[in-house]
Amino acid sequence: MTSAPVLSSAAPVTLLGGGAVTATDLALALRIAPQLVAADGGAQAALDCGVCPDAVVGDFDSLGEAARAALPADRLHHVAEQESTDFDKCLHAVEAPLLLALGFTGLRLDHTLAALNALVRHGARRVVMLGSDDICFHARGDERLDLPPGLRLSLFPMAAVTGRSEGLEWPIDGLKLAPDGRVGTSNRVTGRVRLRLSGPGMLVLLPRAALAPVLAGWGFAGPGDVRAG
């Protein structure tokens, strides 16, 4: 694991993995978070989209020789240990107020699950995972979301969590949610949402159209059109 950040930024940063990603999605992310850090094979995805990452972090088992040769040597940050995923390595290696992660879902289910696990373990940070249809983030203890009524909102616990909610058609008050028990998929927004949770471990999943209002609620500017992709 890196002992010091390889990139520190006062602005949001995009993290790019080697999973399913399009040039349109990458352009969308870079409008929000202009600096780009690639996780191992994500560097090839960036190059395929015509973008050279500001840094590449990982064990480089997925980074081909051609991609490595195309990248400036001072942007390559090799982390040899095998105890963490490349997404996890990037989360350790980058300091920024917001991380927008794409290319970490959509191809292999084990990689997707590992990325969701990392979201929880780094739960104090603001990290939004951008998928082809949805976004996902880890909820803090008191989360407030200004979302349009009727929008789908799913809650998936990665640990045992209880809490209270406002603005949901089916409140979570009094429920014991757990990954091996009750979960909260396919709820619906009825007004301004507030989630007060007993502890870490709750993932919030929303349609891509919710990206701009979520970011605005956290104090960050969003793109003009989050539905492109």
Cα(12)–Cα(22) distance, integer angstroms: 20
Same domain, 112 and 16: yes
Q: Please indicate, yes or no, whether residues 34 and 116 belong to a single structural domain of this protein.
A: yes
Across 67-76, 161-170, 205-214, least confident range:
67-76
The Cα–Cα gap between 190 and 159 comes to: 26
Q: Residue 214 pLDDT more than 90?
A: yes
Residue 195 scores a pLDDT above 50: yes
More confident residue, 52 or 228: 52
Angle at 40 between CA 12 and CA 52, to 5 degrees: 60
- pLDDT tens for each residue of 127-157: 999 998 999 999 999 999 999 999 999 999 9
Q: Which residues of 51-89 are buried (b: 16+ CB within 10 A; e: fewer)?
A: bebbbbbbbbebbeeebeeebeeebbbebeeeebbbbbb
- Same domain, yes or no: 98 and 44: yes
Distance, CA of 125 to CA of 120 (rounded, Å): 9
Q: Which residues pair with 2 in a beta bridge?
A: none
Q: Which domain holds residue 159?
A: 142-202
CATH no. for residue 27? 3.40.50.10240
| Same domain membership, residue 170 and residue 112 | no
According to DSSP, the β-strands at 127-130 and 35-39 are unpaired
| 99 plus 184 within the same structural domain | no
Grade residue 228 by pLDDT with cuts at 50, 70 and 90. very low
Gap between the Cα atoms of 71 and 224, Å rounded:
31
* Domain end residue (candidates: 132, 164, 180): 132
Same domain for 76 and 152, yes or no, is: no
C-alpha to C-alpha distance for 93 and 191, rounded to whole angstroms: 38
Give Cα 23 to chain centroid, integer Å.
Answer: 18
Domain co-membership, 86 together with 64: yes
pTM of this structure: 0.90
What digits encode the pLDDT tens for the residues 90-128?
999 999 999 999 999 877 888 889 999 999 999 899 999
74 and 149 part of one domain: no
Count how many domains the chain has: 2
Question: For residue 228, is it within any domain?
Answer: no
The terminus-to-terminus CA distance of the chain in angstroms comes to 33
Query: 132, 151, 183: which is the final residue of a domain?
Result: 132
